[in-house]
Amino acid sequence: MKYTVITGASSGIGYETALAFAARGKNLIIVARRLERLEELKSKIQEINSDLDVVIRTSDLSVTEQAYTLYNDLKEYKIETWINNAGLGESSFVADQNLDKVEPMLRVNIESLTILSTLFVRDYADVEGTQLINVSSALGYVIAVGSVAYSASKYYVSAFTEGLAKELELKGAKIKAKVLAPALTETEFVKNSMGIEEFDYKANLPMYHTAKQMADFMLEVYDSNAVVGIVDQNYEFKLTEKIYPILESL
Ligand SMILES: NC(=O)c1ccc[n+]([C@@H]2O[C@H](COP(=O)([O-])OP(=O)(O)OC[C@H]3O[C@@H](n4cnc5c(N)ncnc54)[C@H](OP(=O)(O)O)[C@@H]3O)[C@@H](O)[C@H]2O)c1
């Protein structure tokens, strides 16, 4: 039995990605803090396909020790794909930003993602067919004034994952490392970033994708040999080779 791990599966892109991988017949390990949401997702998947195994793990990835615990607790499973999707934003100017929100954001977006990517690649580098997909953002390729810390955290995700993909290629490793870089997508992300109760995408934004569309783009990344799947300024999804320049040796 092989499994697809999805962090941040309790809502938005992670939730729809779990459904999309389930529709492909993949067993799942779904991770987030909100247990009841994960249980609801598990029931939904099992109504669609009762043959699939869906494992629930609750983890607070803003506590970096919990990233180690999560990984170690999954050692008994054979993992085919690991998707680091959990992430959060903070929208304010740097001088005004709430550091109580910024610190956990950096720990989830950067530290836990790095720990989980490293441990997965270490164990699975030579396993044919394995993939690591890290969810960055279009703002990991263009700096967003008013969300600079978030944007910089996604620059890290993109640079780290593109660099890792190059290292794996140079080593002739069998595992692939890839980036999905969504632009505005209708999820809980904006309301959580802005600290508001609700956000009406249709009323406030001329263009955005649904989480289901983004899950379809995730599958396109999964199916392709490209390193990056990115939504461009016209809201078109493109698969491309590495975007950042890379220095191969010192
Ligand atoms: N929506 C957009 O416009 C957009 C654009 C570009 C990139 N992205 C990226 O897409 C990814 C998914 O976000 P989304 O849009 O689907 O937002 P979302 O609906 O808010 O989902 C975020 C997910 O991350 C999980 N998460 C947050 N903090 C966590 C923590 N401390 N520990 C464990 N899990 C945590 C949440 O689960 P719990 O709260 O249950 O823990 C939830 O499942 C993020 O990396 C985000 O940066 C989103």
Å from CA of 170 to ligand 1 middle:
32
pTM of the model: 0.98
Nearest atom in ligand 1 to 208's CA: 3
CB 230 within 8 A of CB 240: yes
Give the confidence band of 250 by pLDDT, cuts at 50, 70, 90: low
Q: Give the active site residue among 150, 155, 208, 222.
A: 150
- Mean pLDDT over each residue of the chain, to the nearest integer: 97
What pLDDT does residue 104 have? 98
154 an active-site residue? yes
Average pLDDT (150-166) is 98
58 lines ligand 1 (CB under 6 A): no
Average pLDDT (56-72) is 98
What pLDDT does residue 248 have? 87
Q: Structurally, what CATH architecture does the domain formed by 2-240 represent?
A: 3-Layer(aba) Sandwich (3.40)
* pLDDT tens column, 80-135: 999 999 999 999 999 999 999 999 999 999 999 999 999 999 999 999 999 999 99
Average pLDDT (62-73) is 98
Nearest atom in ligand 1 to 192's CA: 20
* pLDDT tens column, 213-247: 999 999 999 999 999 999 999 999 999 999 999 99
C-beta neighbour count of 24 within 10 angstroms: 10
- Write the secondary structure of the chain as one string of H (helix), E (strand) and C (coil): CEEEEEECCCCHHHHHHHHHHHHCCCEEEEEECCHHHHHHHHHHHHHHCCCCCEEEEECCCCCHHHHHHHHHHCCCCEEEEEEECCCCCCCCCHHHCCHHHHHHHHHHHHHHHHHHHHHHHHHHCCCCCCEEEEECCHHHCCCCCCCHHHHHHHHHHHHHHHHHHHHHHHHCCCCEEEEEECCCEECCHHHHHHCCCCCCHHHHCCCCEEHHHHHHHHHHHHHCCCCEEEECCCCCEEEECCCCCCCCCC
What pLDDT does residue 229 have? 98
Q: Which of 13, 28, 107 to mutate to test the pocket of ligand 1 (most atoms within 8 A of CB)?
A: 13
